[in-house]
Structure 1
Amino acid sequence: MPGEEKSDHQKPALHPVYTVTNIQNKVRVLDGVKVSYSLWVDLFKLHARGYKVLHHIDGTAPPAKSDSLYDSWTEVDAIVLQWIYGTMSDDLLPRVLKRDSTAREAWTRVENIFLNNKGARAASLEHEFINLKLGKFPNFDSYCQKLKDLSVALSDVGSTVTDQRLVLQLVRGLPKDYDTVAAYINQTLPNFENARSMIELENHRQESREEPTALVVPNSPPPDSRTWDDAPKSGQPRNNRGHGGKRGNNSGHQKGGHRNSKQHQQPSPAPAQSWGPMPGWPSYQ
């Protein structure tokens, strides 16, 4: 009916902010380590703009209390304040949480935590940045990510790190195994991502050279290199190892303990059955 259509048009539209059920699915938790302040700010502002609440944190003055829109503004502001509290780490939340606060006031408290004392913070970050080494990290990716995080943190406190300086520091922290590719990067000065790709390719090349080219089976010498430790040596009596005593000379030996010339020329020991019975052994006939 025409009257019903008119009432539907007069019904106010639901504000987009009410459609967000879990802000942590959209904005990562700020801890100052894994998630830097700049990263958190960029993500938060992106979603605040998308859900039409950016004016709650950018310093825009709220409507007057006598304004008919004030009640709805306070409801939306409370939700934005929940977003801020819900994306703080357990260490930061007690420093940010305050009673009867607006979203803008909480936003300013977070800003002060990370941007106050810029001089001292910049000096500390600069020292960590120039002393970063690849050997301190489990892999190359984590090393690159730390360099990027420090460069962003330095930019937050007014010490902007250019891409060229970031590349030079990337190379400076490499071990000597990368001297060749490091020298080339220093001469050509590519951007950070290209320099990173070049170092990764060099790393893959070194790893491929370290891989074995053939399987080596241990304890398997070739047949012609085996030794016969248990065979009697020429001119030496055969020991009775099984009975703990010494054997006498074989009947096939001469008085001087040497075999005849035919036996002496043979490289391999005589068959076991060619040795006669030893003195004192029982005869099994």
Structure 2
Amino acid sequence: MVSFVTIRFRNSSQPLIRSLCPPLTPSPGASPISSPPPPRQPRTSASLLKPKPAPRLRAAALDEYERAHEALWAQATAVVNVKALIPVVLDQAANTYTKWRSMFLTVLGKYALTYHVLEDEAFPSRPAWVQADCCVLTWIYDTVSRDLQQSLMMRQGPARGAWCYLEDEFLGQKESRALLLETKFRNFRQESLSITDYCRQLESMAASLAEFGEPIGDRQMVLTLLHGLSGKFRHMVSILKMHRPFPTFAEARTHLLLEEMEIDARPPSPPSALVAATPRPAAPGAPGALHLHARERLLQHALLHPPVANALAAAAAANAEVNRLLLADTVVPP
């Protein structure tokens, strides 16, 4: 009978079973007895994490990325007038953030520079990155209003910081801004605007509301468009409302543009007050007309027939004769 003793080490939770009997010697030709495998160590959370690349490998990857975009960044640095690429000026009063942001990101994508405004990671120790970031920051300064430009220059941060400041300035406090903009959208009127400008402003406010998380449907766009039309398009409101199926915003705008062209092509009618105030010419046989005719004939006769030296005196005499005839209410025969 073989007895066993269980020994538990202080720093190990796995028991080790050892036999007190002498080890067995394998017979010739038999396979040796293998020792038990070592206990498997539990996997720690650190071993589950992906290893980070070494700084040397990261620097090499950045060098390769900069070499691949060196020519493209040189073209971006050579841009003198960025307003030719981004013709929109960002202004709080005009509410042009949506259009400005879309055009700005398009230009940055053209030169592979979107990383400078959409990512938080910076590389201030790399000259190529610093030069490209200064280029993007200059473009931001050149395409915003003077008030925003002053606020950005006071912060003196990278392009990412300027971008986040503008984003918070126009999209911060979304609920309050959305409430004010939606009220303005519902109560907007055409007044003296053309159909093109009126529709463009409605679309701009709808796009801003969509950024605030309050999108406006196409049907609501049409109803707001009809609600704010001026008086000369009031007859189109009933026509478009009865249209089946209900027109889209693009269709309603097309109908209104055609009606605007037809209204502008009509000849203007004279105002009724002007027609009533216009004096009518005197009848040929009226006394006043004959008196005026006599005045003209006498003046012409006095200026043509007398000598030049007596022309003014003859004219004065003729004028006095005409006044006498007018007082006597006589008519001079032609």
For residues 176-221 of structure 1, what are the alpha-carbon distances to aligned partners after superposition, in whole Å with 9 as ceiling and x for unaligned?
4434432332333333232112012112223344446xxx9x8787
The structure with higher relative contact order (CA 8 Å, sep 6+) is 1
Q: Shift of the alpha carbon at 1:143?
A: 1.6
TM-score (normalizing by structure 1):
0.67
Measured in 1, the distance between the counterparts of 2:101 and 2:94 equals: 14
Letter in 2 for 1:19: A
For residues 40-95 of structure 1, what are the alpha-carbon distances to aligned partners after superposition, in whole Å with 9 as ceiling and x for unaligned?
00000000000110111112523484xxxx22111111111111111110121122
Q: How does 1:223-234 map to 2 (within 5 A)?
A: 226=283, 228-230=285-287
Q: Shift of the alpha carbon at 1:124?
A: 1.2
Q: Shift of the alpha carbon at 1:166?
A: 1.4
Q: Does 1:174 align with 2:229?
A: yes
Q: What residue is the counterpart of 1:116 in the other structure? A: 172
Measured in 2, the distance between the counterparts of 1:88 and 1:26 equals: 14
Q: Does 1:75 align with 2:131?
A: yes
Q: What residue is the counterpart of 1:235 in the other structure? A: none
Q: Extract unaligned runs of 5+ from structure 1.
A: 1-9, 232-239, 248-270, 274-285
Q: What residue is the counterpart of 1:276 in the other structure? A: none
Letter in 2 for 1:122: A
Contact 1:163 / 1:191 at 8 angstroms: preserved in 2? yes
TM-score (normalizing by structure 2):
0.58
Measured in 1, the distance between the counterparts of 2:68 and 2:259 equals: 64
Letter in 2 for 1:129: F
Contact 2:195 / 2:253 at 8 angstroms: preserved in 1? no
Query: 1:91 is paired with a residue of what secondary structure?
Result: helix
Q: 1:19 to 1:141 in 2, by over 3 A?
A: same
Q: Which of the two has higher C-alpha Rg?
A: 2
Measured in 2, the distance between the counterparts of 1:95 and 1:72 equals: 27
Q: Does 1:128 align with 2:184?
A: yes
Q: What residue is the counterpart of 1:17 in the other structure? A: 76
Measured in 1, the distance between the counterparts of 2:69 and 2:107 equals: 22
Q: How does 1:1-285 map to 2 (within 5 A)?
A: 13-14=70-71, 15=73, 16-27=75-86, 28-34=88-94, 36-63=96-123, 65=125, 70-135=126-191, 137-186=192-241, 187=243, 188-211=245-268, 226=283, 228-230=285-287, 242=325, 244=327
Q: 1:13 to 1:102 in 2, by over 3 A?
A: closer
Query: 2:229 is paired with a residue of what secondary structure?
Result: coil
Aligned residues between the structures: 223
Contact 1:167 / 1:189 at 8 angstroms: preserved in 2? no
Query: 1:134 is paired with a residue of what secondary structure?
Result: coil
Measured in 1, the distance between the counterparts of 2:264 and 2:286 equals: 42
For residues 142-173 of structure 1, what are the alpha-carbon distances to aligned partners after superposition, in whole Å with 9 as ceiling and x for unaligned?
22222122112212222112222212211111
Q: What residue is the counterpart of 1:255 in the other structure? A: none
Letter in 2 for 1:194: E
Q: Extract unaligned runs of 5+ from structure 2.
A: 1-66, 270-274, 289-322
For residues 236-256 of structure 1, what are the alpha-carbon distances to aligned partners after superposition, in whole Å with 9 as ceiling and x for unaligned?
xxxx97274589xxxxxxxxx
- Matched-pair identity in %: 26
The structure richer in helix per residue is 2
Letter in 2 for 1:204: M
Contact 2:178 / 2:209 at 8 angstroms: preserved in 1? yes
Contact 1:154 / 1:161 at 8 angstroms: preserved in 2? yes
Q: Shift of the alpha carbon at 1:107?
A: 0.2
Measured in 2, the distance between the counterparts of 1:73 and 1:114 equals: 28
Measured in 1, the distance between the counterparts of 2:264 and 2:69 equals: 64
Query: 2:146 is paired with a residue of what secondary structure?
Result: coil
